Structure 1
Amino acid sequence: MRWDNIYLAGTGLYLPEQEHTAEQAVADGAYDAAAAETNGIRAVRVANDDEAGVVMAAAAGRQAMARSGHDPKDIDLVLHGYVSHQGREMWSPAHYVQQEAVGTGPSVTVEMRQGCNGALASLELGASHLAARPDATAALITAGDAFRLPYIDRWKSDDQTIFGDAGSALVLSKKGGFARLLSTASTTEPSLEPLYRGGGPWTWAPFETGKPVDLTARKDEWLMRYEDAYDDALALVNERLMSVLERATSEAETSVADAQWFVHANLIMPIVEWGFHKSLGLDPDKTTYEWGRDLGHMGNSDQIAGINHLVETGRPKPGDKLITVGAGIGFMWTVAVLQFV
């Protein structure tokens, strides 16, 4: 979808002060030394007891609002995305973010559960909301995740991911901002849904076994169904990613080669190198990955955090274009193209 007069007006990022390095995790026996060397993630931030994902998201939301210049009454929509436990069962974390970041102003508040694609899916939905409503001015998008034992083992629950804690936010606006949203595109592939479901019986309650979630075992079980299952799944993932990337860049009248910046998830180095840098011909210096190696994969926050980092460091110039890519279990991919103004 090509967008007109939709802008990013402000971003926010909340990072816990506590840091846990891969070296420390290996020394503590929490992380395999060989995996640490191969995976390339140097450190993650670790939330304290008071820093639930939703709390960090609300803090980032307040920062994004302050930077945007918008009054809370301008916010017509709040979208909050997450992967991890938000600090309570059977409640509405999105409305906590609303109350803590903007108060009672928004008319619509919605929770987003689209795996680690929640923030970019929210970006597309937020733009749709603003474009479809003449009287709507701005939308607040937040994300927040804290990955904690005994539910999630940040170093071992997924052999392709090292999880870091963070909250992030951005304000979409029709009044203007630091970057114009040129286009977004999304696609899904539900045939890959079993990758993260695995087999076995349905559970009756969250964390029923009392053991950390083992996403690696779930994936391995499904990918070992037949000899070429892994290669077939990988080919399908690449096909869907390339299709949505081509659609978004085409609608923005640009290309990956023409964009000055590219922001992707902070995954382990083998996936980043082969899934993004080599397959797309990306110069790593055009990405925020080197910075992200000290933060790990922050659930829904990687893309907003990367954009925020570029803006805070003053690297983009007016006219520069940025492509950001998200993927979430289910599966869903979203690509957004921005231009700094």
Structure 2
Amino acid sequence: MRWENVYVAGIGTYLPDETVTAAEAVADGRYDAANAEASGVRAVRVAADDEPGPVMAAKAGRLAIERAGVAAEDIDLVLHAYVGHQGQELWSPAHYVLNETVGGRAAAIELRQGCNGALAATELAASYLVARPDTTAALVTTGDAFKLPHIDRWSADDQTVYGDGGAAIVLSKRGGFARLLATATRSEPSLEPLYRGTEWTAAPFAEGKPVDLTARKDSWLMRNEDAYDDALALIGENFAEVLQEALADAGTTLAETQWFVHANVSRQIAEWGFHKALGLDVSTTPYEWGLDHGHMGNSDQFMGIDHLIAEGRPKAGDKLVTIGVGIGFMWTVAVLEFTETPAW
């Protein structure tokens, strides 16, 4: 989908103060040394007990609104995306974020798209603004704190280390530091069992054990000798097609873009899934920065863009491609064009 007159007006992030390194986790017996070597992740931020996902999302949201210079009453939609537990059961974290950021009676909706939530929400927010002539701006927030006993950030997935944090963007029809040129989304539901596994549960945390995503993946991938290769082929095919669709709608090519932001994934996934597959120069990504923060659920893409901006790297006229991948499976690609280097 090509967008006209939709802008990223503000972006905000929040990182907890506490840092725990992979070396410390290995020394304490919390992280497998071989997995640490393979992943390359050096450290993560760890949220305090009073910093569940929505609290960090709201802090990031307030910063994004301040940077955007948008009045609270001009925010017509709040979308809050997350992966894990949000600090309480059977409640609405989206309305907490609404109340803690802009207040009022704007629509507040939560999304569960795995780690694709931020970009899926961006596309939906753009659609909402364009479809309603009387709207001005939308706030998209993300936030997750991965805590025991529900999730062990070091061992829930043998290819991923989970870090805590929150992030947000403001989309506006009145202008911003970057134009949203195009987005594209694609699903491959035949891969849904990868993260469900082969067993059902009666309730959250029913067995009283931390989530074991590795075991779920293994139980499905071991069902026949071709399952692993078939899954990789489907992932590669969908990734290539959704990327090309977004670039075509934006009227550009990957070679004509200057920046690429993907999730803070492990070294083996980043190198083979993104850098080598696409011929990317790692210096055009926030990959090295991400190794000091781990995979922050939905927040990685907004965090990565904010990091590039903080270093003053994107200039007016530069194009940036960002991609999200969520369990389900689902991919969203967004293409931005910077109109300026933000003052912050």
Letter in 2 for 1:332: M
Per the alignment, in what secondary structure is the counterpart of residue 54 of structure 1? Answer: helix
Match of 2:278 in 1: 280
What is the Cα deviation at residue 311 of structure 1?
A: 1.4
In 2, are the aligned partners of 1:249 and 1:255 still within 8 Å (CA)?
A: yes
CA separation in 1, counterparts of 2:167 and 2:138? Answer: 14
TM-score (norm 2): 0.98
Q: How many residues align?
A: 339
Residues 290-329 of structure 1: pairs in structure 2 closer than 5 A: 290-329=288-327
Q: Percent identity?
A: 67
Per the alignment, in what secondary structure is the counterpart of residue 254 of structure 2? Answer: coil
- Post-superposition CA distance 1:124-155 (Å, at most 9, x none): 00000011111100000000000001100101
Letter in 2 for 1:26: V
Residues 325-336 of structure 1: pairs in structure 2 closer than 5 A: 325-336=323-334
Residues 20-99 of structure 1: pairs in structure 2 closer than 5 A: 20-99=20-99
In 1, are the aligned partners of 2:35 and 2:159 still within 8 Å (CA)?
A: no
Match of 1:178 in 2: 177
Per the alignment, in what secondary structure is the counterpart of residue 323 of structure 1? Answer: strand
What is the Cα deviation at residue 105 of structure 1?
A: 4.4
Match of 2:219 in 1: 221
What is the Cα deviation at residue 253 of structure 1?
A: 1.1
1:131 aligns to 2:140 (yes or no):
no
Letter in 2 for 1:304: F
In 2, are the aligned partners of 1:75 and 1:105 still within 8 Å (CA)?
A: no
Match of 1:163 in 2: 162
Residues 140-289 of structure 1: pairs in structure 2 closer than 5 A: 140-200=139-199, 202-289=200-287
CA RMSD of superposed structures (Å) = 0.6
Match of 2:12 in 1: 12
Per the alignment, in what secondary structure is the counterpart of residue 144 of structure 1? Answer: strand
What is the Cα deviation at residue 52 of structure 1?
A: 0.4
CA separation in 1, counterparts of 2:35 and 2:220? Answer: 22
Letter in 2 for 1:306: G
What is the Cα deviation at residue 34 of structure 1?
A: 1.5
What is the Cα deviation at residue 55 of structure 1?
A: 0.3
CA separation in 1, counterparts of 2:324 and 2:93? Answer: 22
CA separation in 2, counterparts of 1:43 and 1:310? Answer: 19
Per the alignment, in what secondary structure is the counterpart of residue 164 of structure 1? Answer: coil
Letter in 2 for 1:139: A
CA separation in 2, counterparts of 1:60 and 1:140? Answer: 10
CA separation in 2, counterparts of 1:39 and 1:225? Answer: 26
Per the alignment, in what secondary structure is the counterpart of residue 335 of structure 2? Answer: strand
Unaligned runs of 5+ in 1: none
Letter in 2 for 1:237: I
Letter in 1 for 2:205: F
- Post-superposition CA distance 1:148-197 (Å, at most 9, x none): 01100101001121100000000000000000000000000000000001
In 1, are the aligned partners of 2:79 and 2:108 still within 8 Å (CA)?
A: yes
In 2, are the aligned partners of 1:80 and 1:111 still within 8 Å (CA)?
A: yes
What is the Cα deviation at residue 214 of structure 1?
A: 0.3
In 2, are the aligned partners of 1:15 and 1:167 still within 8 Å (CA)?
A: yes
